[in-house]
Amino acid sequence: MNILAPVRRDRVLAELPQCLRKEAALHVHKGFHPRVTCACQEHRTGTVGRFKISKVIVVGDLSVGKTCLINRFCKDTFDKNYKATIGVDFEMERFEVLGVPFSLQLWDTAGQERFKCIASTYYRGAQAIIIVFNLNDVASLEHTKQWLADALKENDPSSVLLFLVGSKKDLSTPAQYVLMEKDALKMAQEMKAEYWAVSSLTGENVREFFFRVAALTFEANVLAELEKSGARRIGDVVRISSEDSNLYLTASKKKLTCCR
Ligand SMILES: Nc1nc2c(ncn2[C@@H]2O[C@H](COP(=O)(O)OP(=O)(O)OP(=O)(O)O)[C@@H](O)[C@H]2O)c(=O)[nH]1
Ligand SMILES: [Mg+2]
């Protein structure tokens, strides 16, 4: 029995959302990786796992706007009063990407020093790290290096996707923004992170940003699974997961013609 409600219509992704700035993007391809598109088409005949989930952690200095960013996207709300996150909070956001159900587990961590040790125990196993800084506070951009270093201690730097997000864009004048963006793009390039600038107050770029996070983590997740299932393949038969009683035939001939 499926106890989950259908995915909201505005959480359906049929195409790869584009990056904000080509200078600091995880990749600039126009569409999803052809192997991913192909595997998702085959999903209709059952060759890709049925339910995917990725853990995403959100880190950064206190009061940079991590909680407001998540709340703007998940609940479409904004609170102008600051309420510090104590330890961690958690939101689950469901999507459908290329016809496949996919969820982001969003871990909103505390920026306050005294809660940092609690929050850091939740860093492990992240597929994506979102490092937030305040576009109007250059120190918070400087501190992103330390936030990243701490988060990477608990994760595999070679497989995790990084996003550097400047918040509170509504508070900067265009001239101030241009100056800050220069430094932020440099930092993002050094970190090998994708750069975004958002406002949770106005909502600017918030939806576009999370859609990009969902799309890129989904893509990485499917590619990793295809690699694993390739290694697990015995003859022409693949078992999708240990508790899955169904065995699916791989469309190996079809793959040769439509996958890279
Ligand atoms: N003008 C403006 N204010 C914002 C924006 N985002 C957050 N704020 C304000 O900044 C303050 C801190 O926001 P939070 O989201 O609670 O900050 P946080 O990073 O979660 O802080 P910690 O939980 O302590 O780590 C609040 O007063 C928010 O209203 C924004 O986009 N624009
Ligand atoms: Mg918070």
pLDDT digits (tens, 9 = 90+) for 68-121: 999 999 999 999 999 999 999 999 999 999 999 999 999 999 999 999 889 889
pLDDT for the residue 45 = 39
Distance (angstroms) between ligand 1 centre and the Cα of 201 equals 9
208-232 core/surface letters (b: 16 or more CB in 10 A; e: else) = ebbbbbbbbbbbbbbeebbeebeee
CA distance 160 to 108: 17
Contact by Cβ (8 Å): 82, 215: no
Distance (angstroms) between ligand 1 centre and the Cα of 198 equals 12
Query: Is 66's C-beta closer than 6 angstroms to any atom of ligand 1?
Result: yes
- Residue whose Cα lies nearest atom 23 of ligand 1: it is 85
pLDDT for the residue 4 = 63
R_g of the chain, CA atoms, integer Å: 19
Query: Is 203's C-beta closer than 6 angstroms to any atom of ligand 1?
Result: no
Q: Which of 191, 183, 214, 225 is nearest to 73 (CA)?
A: 214
Tell me the two tokens of residue 70.
């998540």
Confidence label for 52 from pLDDT (cuts 50, 70 and 90): confident
For residue 230, give Cα distances in angstroms to 164, 178, 226, 255. 33, 46, 6, 12
pLDDT tens column, 54-72: 999 999 999 999 999 999 9
Classify the complex by whether its ipTM is higher than 0.90, answering yes or no: yes
Q: Which of 217, 241, 243, 259 is nearest to 102 (CA)?
A: 217
CA distance 226 to 100: 15
Tell me the two tokens of residue 185.
């793009």
What residues pack around ion ligand 2 (CB closer than 5 A)? 66-67, 85
Residues facing residue 58 across a β-bridge: 108, 130
Segment 41-64 shows an average pLDDT of 79
For residue 110, give Cα distances in angstroms to 92, 99, 217. 18, 34, 23
Segment 123-132 shows an average pLDDT of 97
